[in-house]
């Protein structure tokens, strides 16, 4: 423990390490919260061109305007609306065609043109979904009115319009809240990134002190270094969970303590990976570059925004190397269901990372032997000179 305390004090002497372990997580957490604090997408600007100017087209415009997701701006000039959409002033363009009311009255299908900006994937999908829901509700009301005029009763009309009632309930993120859905995943990915950089710096400082390798056994030295760097990083992770599920009170069905244990095991895996890379390259810049390339797709490989089952084979193999992918699976399990002690079995996916202990100890022994040989050579040279 004294050695771990000494290494921790050495870490505290580095301004860059202090920045990584103190100020940067607070700034990152604050910025992410400000970005996702709204939680639910509202007020997406869309342009509506009404070419029919009828009672039916005005009803559809009112339904679009009533949607909390949309903010409607009416245009009478199609060219002006198209120009505004191309300039990025609006995320979507809805064109209500000429003859809309007449076609609906005659039982014909009018064509409502919807164009949305697919450059911003999530925003475009939200706008498209909200527009289709609003138009479907408005068209259903118009169809009901037309059918009543033909003498059909409401039950027959309801069955004709919707033979089967559907109730769609998402298992996760029931309120479509981006704060509860994306913020934890992004914070885990960034926490892993901060951990990788801090561990790489700590390992570089350790390797830069060859005298320690001659004074202590390799396993003692690396264990002390792990305790020295993992303790502040683990506290940062716990503080992040406390912020998410204590202060913000985001929904969590499972066990918070199991997530804390998962963080510790993730840190062990990260430390083993970064330590092996550091002692192979013996250059902090090169080690961080390799780690950046290795962990860059961490968020994409978590399986949050894209299902991991549909990933190609290369992505699945790469995903297994990144500890956050395994931790996120445990995280999602705790979000959706109650946890028990048997869920610790899920953490067994991390066990293959411990095979990195073997190359770590091998390279450490080689490094120690090299240092001793260099010291003996220097001693002999000094002795011969004297």
> Tens digits of per-residue pLDDT, 195-233?
999 998 888 888 887 777 778 777 788 888 888 899 999
Cβ neighbours around 267 below 10 Å, total: 23
CA dist 266 and 230 (Å) reads 10
> Tens digits of per-residue pLDDT, 322-374?
888 888 888 877 777 766 666 656 566 666 666 766 676 677 666 666 766 66
Question: What are the structure tokens assigned to 183, written together?
Answer: 């913020």
∠ CA(46), CA(52), CA(57), 5° rounding? 60
CA dist 69 and 65 (Å) reads 9
Residue 200 Cα distances to 179, 195, 275, angstroms: 31, 8, 7
Q: Evaluate if residue 380 carries a pLDDT over 60.
A: no
CA dist 6 and 221 (Å) reads 11
Q: Evaluate if residue 238 carries a pLDDT over 90.
A: yes
From-to residues of CATH 3.40.1710.10 in the chain: 44-161
CA dist 224 and 230 (Å) reads 10
CA dist 364 and 287 (Å) reads 16
CA dist 222 and 227 (Å) reads 9
Domain 44-161 has CATH 3.40.1710.10: yes
The alpha carbon of residue 318 and the mean position of all alpha carbons in its chain are separated, in whole angstroms, by: 17
For the entire predicted model, the pTM comes to 0.75
Question: What are the structure tokens assigned to 71, written together?
Answer: 């903010």
- What pairs with residue 116 in β-bridges? 92
């Amino acid at each position: 423990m004294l050695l771990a305390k000494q290494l921790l004090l050495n870490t505290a002497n580095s301004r860059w390490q202090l920045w990584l372990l103190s100020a940067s997580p607070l700034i990152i957490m604050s910025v992410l919260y400000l970005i996702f604090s709204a939680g639910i997408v509202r007020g997406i600007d869309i342009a509506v061109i009404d070419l029919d100017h009828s009672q039916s087209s005005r009803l559809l415009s009112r339904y679009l305007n009533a949607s909390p997701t949309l903010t409607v701006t009416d245009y009478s000039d199609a060219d002006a609306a198209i120009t505004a959409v191309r300039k990025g002033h609006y995320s979507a363009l809805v064109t209500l065609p000429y003859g809309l009311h007449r076609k609906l009255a005659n039982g014909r299908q009018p064509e409502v043109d919807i164009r949305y900006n697919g450059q911003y994937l999530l925003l475009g999908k939200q706008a498209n979904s909200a527009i289709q829901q609003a138009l479907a509700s408005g068209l259903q009301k118009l169809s009901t009115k037309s059918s009543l005029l033909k003498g059909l009763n409401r039950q027959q009309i309801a069955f004709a319009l919707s033979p089967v009632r559907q109730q769609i309930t998402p298992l996760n993120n029931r309120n479509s809240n981006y704060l509860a859905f994306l913020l934890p995943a992004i914070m885990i990915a960034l926490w892993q990134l901060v951990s990788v950089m801090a561990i790489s710096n700590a390992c570089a400082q350790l390797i830069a002190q060859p005298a320690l390798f001659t004074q202590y056994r390799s396993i003692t030295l690396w264990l002390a270094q792990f305790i020295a760097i993992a303790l502040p990083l683990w506290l940062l992770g716990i503080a992040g969970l406390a912020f998410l599920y204590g202060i913000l009170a985001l929904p969590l069905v499972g066990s918070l303590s199991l997530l804390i244990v998962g963080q510790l095991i993730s840190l062990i895996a990260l430390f083993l990976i970064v330590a092996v890379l550091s002692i192979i390259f013996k250059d902090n810049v090169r080690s961080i570059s390799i780690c950046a390339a290795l962990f860059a797709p961490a968020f994409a490989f978590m399986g949050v925004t894209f299902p991991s089952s549909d990933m190609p084979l290369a992505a699945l193999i790469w995903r297994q190397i990144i500890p956050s992918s395994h931790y996120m699976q445990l995280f999602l399990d705790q979000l959706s269901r109650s946890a028990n002690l048997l869920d610790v079995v899920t953490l067994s996916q991390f066990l293959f990372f411990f095979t990195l202990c073997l190359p770590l100890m091998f390279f450490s022994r080689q490094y120690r032997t090299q240092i001793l040989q260099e010291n003996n050579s220097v001693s002999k040279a000094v002795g011969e000179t004297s």
